């Protein structure tokens, strides 16, 4: 098991390269990202209707930051394939 302190050290070591890797990831997987966005949009509409379109701007910004923060954490945990 990887301890919390070990995971935090891995994340800290990864942060300097995460931005570049995120840009590269977006460029490489843009088609897959768009396809997933469309699927999630449809599923989200079925579950929540138009709720996200009624969010205040601060909520929308918070949700975007959280999603990208998760990407940084996921990317620090190892290779995709």
> In which band, very low, low, confident or very high, does the pLDDT at 44 lie, cut at 50, 70 and 90?
very high
What is the model's pLDDT at position 81? 80
What is the model's pLDDT at position 80? 86
Residue 24 has pLDDT above 90, yes or no: yes
Rounded to two decimals, the pTM is 0.85
Per the structure block, which two tokens stand in for 71? 């990407």
Residue 29 CB neighbours (<10 A): 13
Dihedral of alpha carbons 29, 15, 52, 54, sign: negative
């Amino acid at each position: 098991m990887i301890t919390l302190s070990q995971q935090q050290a891995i994340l800290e070591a990864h942060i300097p390269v995460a931005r570049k890797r995120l840009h590269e990831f977006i460029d490489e997987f843009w088609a897959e990202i768009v396809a997933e966005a469309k699927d999630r949009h449809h599923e989200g509409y079925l579950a929540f209707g138009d709720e996200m379109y009624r969010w205040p701007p601060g909520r929308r910004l918070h949700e975007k930051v959280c999603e990208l923060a998760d990407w940084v954490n996921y990317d620090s945990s190892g290779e995709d394939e």
